[in-house]
């Protein structure tokens, strides 16, 4: 058992360690949010990376995504696409749909949230259109070497990647998708069976839409991915359509001194 702060959710998990307790983001009609394509591209923003060397950050994020790519019974795969100049979140009507990882030196959300994933999905079918991850580099330090006063970058990214796949928080305290952790806690070597079961439930191999394109271009810091503005009709439809995209943000709160509010959400039509 990983050393975690005592919380009601942890006590529940301890009482039934073998139970699967994953949850999915769902629409009002109970359709689970999921990707309808096999390949989920992601870009790292060209800005500062919380004081850590960019190559180290890139390698750590790559490793975190690889944990989910290793679930053989699931068809969905993350694909690194390099560096982007886009730092907006949600299915932006101006820039199209970019799955961006960005470190915020000025954090605009709830203070005790270390990272936030904004998930945009079809309100009728649950089909995910966009997923963006923001790290709170203003309020928290990140590390890759187990520094006891910092938060493990791989652990946070593994958790947020689960949100990118449509997973909610789990009540299993050993699961990556458990909602809290503490400074200095290291990421596990592999996903918990509860995490794997959660993504397989919505992305089973039998439903695979096809493989990723291995020849997809990878942008560099010298030549980042900077898409031209998309036509207005390419963006979100707001609340006028029964199948309008909806943005739901899911946060991981990593706490050092005691159990607090464990998750922050913000929802809005986009």
The pLDDT value recorded for residue 250 is 58
Q: What is the CA radius of gyration of the chain?
A: 18
Give the pLDDT of residue 251.
53
At residue 91, the pLDDT reads: 64
CB neighbour burial string for 161-187, b if at least 16 within 10 angstroms, e if fewer: bbbbbbbbbbbbbbbbbbbbbbbbbeb
DSSP 8-state code for residue 38: S
Q: Is 45 in contact with 101 (CB distance < 8 Å)?
A: yes
Alpha-carbon distances, residue 169 vs 179, 180, 195 (angstroms): 5, 9, 10
What are the pLDDT digits (tens) for 69-97? 999 999 999 999 999 999 888 765 444 57
pLDDT, tens only, 94-104: 445 789 999 99
Between 64-78, 152-166, 168-182, 253-267, the lowest mean confidence (pLDDT) is in 253-267
Q: Where are the beta strands (DSSP E) in 137-206?
A: 142-143, 151-152, 180-181
For 166-221, the pLDDT digits (tens) are 999 999 999 999 988 889 999 999 999 999 999 999 999 999 998 887 778 899 99
Instruction: Considering only residues 144 and 235, tell me which one the structure prediction assigns the higher pLDDT.
Output: 144
pTM of the model: 0.81
CA angle 142, 58, 185 (to 5 degrees): 30
Reported confidence tier of residue 17, pLDDT bands at 50, 70, 90:
very low
- The pLDDT score that the predictor gives to residue 229 is 55
CA angle at 127 for the pair 75 and 180, rounded to the nearest 5°: 75
């Amino acid at each position: 058992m990983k050393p975690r702060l005592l919380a009601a959710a942890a006590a529940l998990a301890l009482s039934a360690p073998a139970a699967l307790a994953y949850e999915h983001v769902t629409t009002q009609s109970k359709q689970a949010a999921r990707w309808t394509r096999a390949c989920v591209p992601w870009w790292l923003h060209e800005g500062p990376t919380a004081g850590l060397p960019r190559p180290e950050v890139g390698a750590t994020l790559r490793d975190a995504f690889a944990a989910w790519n290793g679930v053989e019974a699931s068809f969905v795969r993350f694909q690194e696409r390099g560096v982007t100049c886009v730092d907006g979140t949600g299915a932006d009507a101006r820039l199209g749909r970019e799955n961006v990882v960005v470190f915020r030196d000025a954090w605009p959300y709830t203070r005790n949230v270390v990272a936030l994933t904004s998930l945009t999905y079809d309100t009728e079918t649950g089909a995910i259109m966009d997923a963006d991850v923001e790290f709170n580099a203003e309020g928290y330090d990140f590390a890759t070497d187990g520094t006891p006063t910092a938060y493990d970058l791989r652990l946070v990214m593994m958790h947020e990647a689960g949100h990118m796949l449509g997973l909610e928080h789990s009540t299993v305290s050993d699961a990556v998708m458990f909602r809290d952790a503490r400074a200095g806690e290291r990421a596990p070597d592999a996903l918990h069976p509860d995490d794997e079961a959660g993504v397989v439930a919505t992305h089973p191999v039998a439903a695979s839409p096809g493989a990723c394109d291995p020849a997809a271009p990878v942008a560099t810091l010298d030549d980042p991915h900077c898409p031209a503005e998309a036509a207005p009709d390419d963006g979100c439809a707001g609340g006028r359509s029964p199948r309008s995209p909806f943005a739901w943000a899911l946060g991981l709160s990593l706490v050092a001194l005691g159990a607090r509010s464990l998750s922050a959400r913000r929802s809005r039509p986009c």
